[in-house]
Amino acid sequence: MMIGLTGARGAAAALAIGTAAAGVAHAYEPVTVTDGGTIAGLVRLEGSVPKPKGYNLTTLPDQVYCGRISDGQGWRLLQPFDVDADGAFRGVVVYLESIEKGKPFPETPPPRIEAKDCRFLPFVNLVRDHHDVVVVNMDPAMHDIQAYETSHLGPRVLFNVPLPISAKYPQQAGLSAHFHKHYEGTPITQTVHMTKGRRVFTMQCGFHAYMESWALVQEHPYYTVTNEHGRFQLTGVPPGTYRVKVWHPYVHDDIGESVTIEPNAEAEVSLAVPAPTGRLYANQMVENPYNRYKITEDDQSQIVPTLEKQRY
């Protein structure tokens, strides 16, 4: 089993939990909300987008299939910051801090995380303690779920199970850089059981280190994840004044704004996240990394980015 969340990555998780843990201090009380309002807005990343992580595919399994997404020189990149050309920050959690009562949780299916194209998707999710999460393998490659909870005390294993491959795949699919169909393997359902005080859930693949997924545990229904335009909306909010917070696993700052919501009204809020600077991870991609890890021409001829040629 791969040891997860060590080094710089573990530090990121520990710092992130410091922001997340400053949430609700009391048990949440579901009530009927009358004259509820809406909080909507935009999250932006201010500054330069950090460099991605870099993984030498020749050191990991399934280099041909997983290399369908690579930089053309034998490297797979993982970019935790999903930001568009205008700075809109996609896939970050927005939530209300310290709301003690409000609408009940809706009846929704458990969150589904897919292993697809050697990625865990979505990268950022929401989960609930003592509720299920569903993980499914859409690839013709074996994946292995290693799920952890994190805090300043470090990671603790929640579960570790393999992800079955669909029997529909032809035998050669996992050896090809040109096979792009996806068939669903048997879904794996696991119940999330967090230790008191821990609110960050993360998964990685035991075979492919560049496969990560993160989640913040909901303490009430007023949580959401920004969409492809960096926007969010929280509905059915009882009238009052709240602090709207932002969470991302690799942002350490405490980001939030106070907002007052009037009965049956909508409040707009803009949240600016300063881009982290410096070296965020031990394997941060640098200029000319090929001098450190030699990838032969024969290796490069097999690792072909037929699905996506990555750039950094």
Residues 6 or more apart whose CB falls under 8 angstroms from that of 158 comprise 147, 148, 149, 190, 192, 193, 194, 201
- Please state, in angstroms and rounded to a whole number, the distance separating the CA atoms of residues 244 and 228: 20
Bridge partners of residue 245, in order along the sequence? 95, 256
Q: What is d(CA 7, CA 128) in angstroms, rounded to the nearest whole number?
A: 27
- Please give the chain's pLDDT, 312 residues, in tens: 444 444 334 444 444 444 444 444 468 999 999 999 999 999 999 999 999 999 999 999 999 999 999 999 899 999 999 999 999 999 999 999 989 999 999 999 999 999 999 999 999 999 999 999 999 999 999 999 999 998 777 789 999 999 999 999 998 999 999 999 999 999 999 999 999 888 999 999 999 999 999 999 999 999 999 999 999 999 999 999 999 999 999 998 899 999 999 999 999 999 999 999 998 998 998 766 555 566 777 777 889 999 999 987
As a whole number of angstroms, the distance between CA 93 and CA 24 comes to 15
CA–CA separation, 21 and 23 (whole Å): 5
194 to each of 110, 149, 163, 173, 304, how far by Cα in Å? Answer: 16, 7, 22, 37, 40
pLDDT at 11: 41
Instruction: Say what the pLDDT of residue 294 is.
Output: 67
Pair of tokens at residue 69: 């997404």
Global pTM reads: 0.89
